[in-house]
Amino acid sequence: MRVYKVLKKIIHLGAKGLARSVSVDLNNDASLLIDIPDALCERDKVKFTVHTKTTLGTFQKPEFSVSRQHEDFIWLHDTLVETEEYAGLIIPPAPPKPDFESPREKMHKLGEGEASMTKEEYAKMKQELEAEYLAVFKKTVQVHEIFLQRLSSHPVFSKDRNFQIFLEYDQDLSVRRKNAKEMFGGFFKNMVKTADEVLISGTKEVDEFFDQEKTFLLDYFSKIKDATSKAEKMTRSHKNVADDYIHVSATLNSLSAEDSTPLKHLEKLADLFEKLRKVEGRVASDQELKLTELLRYYMRDIQAAKDLLYRRARALADYENANKALDKARLKSKDVAQAQQHQQQCLQKFDTLSESGKKELTSFKGRRVLAFRKNLIEMAELEIKHAKSNMALLQGCVELLKSN
């Protein structure tokens, strides 16, 4: 796998781009600064270097780095989900698994088609492929980075003990990670979640705020999921067009090299297509970053918000059950105090959940609107910029051809 060898070198990536796009006001609290400056790609595994700078006394050192794998992030996310105290909070969505499937498939196809291409064409396609690998790589690093930064910028999560271990523990975390049994437990949990969906859509909501949020989130989730997949397809088509320009450019080059008649403009045309494809490629990747990634991220975030609603619904169900139990106990005059205490607990839990839930959901909306605004503006500006440079290239070539 030659391309893998290229990526094996450590790539320096800054905390920019996606981080500031999908969620504003992350990582500006100097007491706890996290970033992922480097990452290594080994076969299928990506090893992230998590770098922390802190002024908090809870940590042993003011600055340190550890090496983490994707599974470590998932472990951290799941422990947060399972923590009772956090039931009333939106848990930042887990970063998706690094997916090199698409460029890998392309590389396979490229290998097969090598014989039918000129050397230059092959080199350019390989270049494109390497760029794509790099893009996927960058994206996965940034999405893991955002996850950590959302935790670090949250007043509650930043103090989480497991989070601290994740950042600090200088050994391999695999001991603490899920084993097979726990993974099965995770699967079971997903089944319960589906039951929850039925539960909350069935439960009558008294609180108007939550009622509205429920309707909105359920509908919005399905729409944004659809929009994400359509945006993905659109971006992929764009990349295909950019790739086609490579082939056209390469063949025009061979044509102009072999042609003895004065078709000098073929060479210029080949050059033009080569430049155009770079711009088109950038259009495709910018669109992916600003639009597709945005939608993808918020799709996961909305799922996290929905999870909050489920937990609240479950708490409500628990409270209602506790009420029924109390009534039964009163009837039987048995364990009334116990039942009453249980009922009180449930009520309290439900109230806390509702209160923090409301806060979380309101700030979530604000975050979402801001992120969309930022990305849509940036996308429009980039589209204009690229279209202008395309136009300049094209008009230049037309002038050149006309003047000959």
Partner 1 sequence: MRDELFCSLFYITVVTVLGISGIDMAHKAKNHSSPSSPEPASLQVEDVSANSNGPKTAEILIDDDQDDLFAEATEEVSLDSPEREPILSDGPSPAITPVTPTALISNRIEPKVIGVPSMFERSLDEVEEEAGGDLFDINISVSDPEKVGDGMNAYMAYKVTTKTSLTIFNQSEFSVKRRFSDFLGLHSKLASKYMHIGYIVPPAPEKSIVGMTKVKVGKEDLSSTEFVEKRRSALERYLMRTVKHPTLIQDPDVIQFLESSELPRAVSTQALSGAGILRMVNKAADAVNKMTIKMNESDAWFEEKQQQFENLDQQLRKLHASVEALVCHRKELSVNTASFARSAAMLGNSEDHTALSRALSQLAEVEEKIDQLHQEQAYADFYLFSELLGDYVRLITAVKGVFDQRMKTWSKWQDAQVMLQKKREAEAKLHLANKPDKLQQAKDEIKEEIEEWEGKVQQGERDFEQISKTIRKEVGRFEKERVKDFKVVIIKYLESLVHTQQQLIKYWEAFLPEAKAIA
For residue 53, what are the β-bridge partners? Answer: 33, 63
Query: Of 197-256, which residues contact partner 1 (CB under 8 A)?
Result: 212, 216, 219-220, 223-224, 226-227, 230-231, 233-234, 236-238, 240-241, 244-245, 247-248, 251-252, 254-255
Distances (CA, A) of 320 to 42, 308, 327: 52, 18, 11
- Considering the complex, state which of residue 40 and residue 117 has its C-beta at the smaller distance from partner 1: 117
41: nearest Cα among 146, 140, 189, 168: 140
* Closest CB 128 distance from partner 1, rounded Å: 14
Place of tokens 């290239």: 393
Distances (CA, A) of 89 to 157, 222, 270: 9, 22, 56
Burial class (CB in 10 A: 0-12, 13-18, 19+), 161: exposed
Looking at 43-51, 77-85, 201-209, 387-395, which segment touches partner 1 (CB under 8 A)?
387-395
Amino acid at 347: L
27: nearest Cα among 164, 147, 126: 147
Structure tokens at 402: 């006309």
Q: Is 377 in the site for partner 1 (CB under 8 A)?
A: yes
- Considering the complex, state which of residue 266 and residue 315 has its C-beta at the smaller distance from partner 1: 266
| Residue 37: other Cβ atoms inside 10 A | 17
Q: Is 25 in the site for partner 1 (CB under 8 A)?
A: no
- Considering the complex, state which of residue 300 and residue 368 has its C-beta at the smaller distance from partner 1: 368
How many residues are there in the chain? 404
| Binding residues with partner 1: total (CB under 8 A) | 58
Q: Is 22 in the site for partner 1 (CB under 8 A)?
A: no
Which position among 57, 155, 202, 262 is part of the footprint of partner 1 (CB under 8 A)?
262
Q: Is 397 in the site for partner 1 (CB under 8 A)?
A: yes
Q: Is 388 in the site for partner 1 (CB under 8 A)?
A: yes
For residue 352, what are the β-bridge partners? Answer: none
* Closest CB 251 distance from partner 1, rounded Å: 4
Q: Is 13 in the site for partner 1 (CB under 8 A)?
A: no
* Closest CB 216 distance from partner 1, rounded Å: 5
Q: Are 360 and 306 in contact (CB under 8 A)?
A: no
Looking at 24-32, 36-44, 122-130, 371-379, which segment touches partner 1 (CB under 8 A)?
371-379
**Rounded Cα distance, 103 and 4, in Å:** 11
Which position among 1, 10, 56, 384 is part of the footprint of partner 1 (CB under 8 A)?
384
* Closest CB 274 distance from partner 1, rounded Å: 13
- Tell me, residue by residue from 294 to 313, as one string, x for binding to partner 1 by CB under 8 A and - for no binding: --------------------
* Closest CB 116 distance from partner 1, rounded Å: 9
| Residue 378: other Cβ atoms inside 10 A | 16
Q: Are 152 and 92 in contact (CB under 8 A)?
A: no
- Considering the complex, state which of residue 106 and residue 177 has its C-beta at the smaller distance from partner 1: 106
354: nearest Cα among 327, 322, 315: 315
Q: Is 263 in the site for partner 1 (CB under 8 A)?
A: yes
Place of tokens 């989480």: 160
- Considering the complex, state which of residue 165 and residue 263 has its C-beta at the smaller distance from partner 1: 263
- Considering the complex, state which of residue 54 and residue 285 has its C-beta at the smaller distance from partner 1: 285
- Considering the complex, state which of residue 99 and residue 226 has its C-beta at the smaller distance from partner 1: 226
Burial class (CB in 10 A: 0-12, 13-18, 19+), 91: buried
DSSP 3-state of 49: strand
Structure tokens at 342: 């249980």
* Closest CB 250 distance from partner 1, rounded Å: 8
Give phi and psi for 53, each to the nearest 5: -125, 125
Q: Are 123 and 18 in contact (CB under 8 A)?
A: no
Residues of this chain that interact with partner 1 (CB under 8 A) are 212, 216, 219-220, 223-224, 226-227, 230-231, 233-234, 236-238, 240-241, 244-245, 247-248, 251-252, 254-255, 258-263, 265-266, 269, 272, 276, 365, 368-369, 372-373, 376-377, 380-381, 383-384, 387-388, 390-391, 394-395, 397-398, 401-402, 404
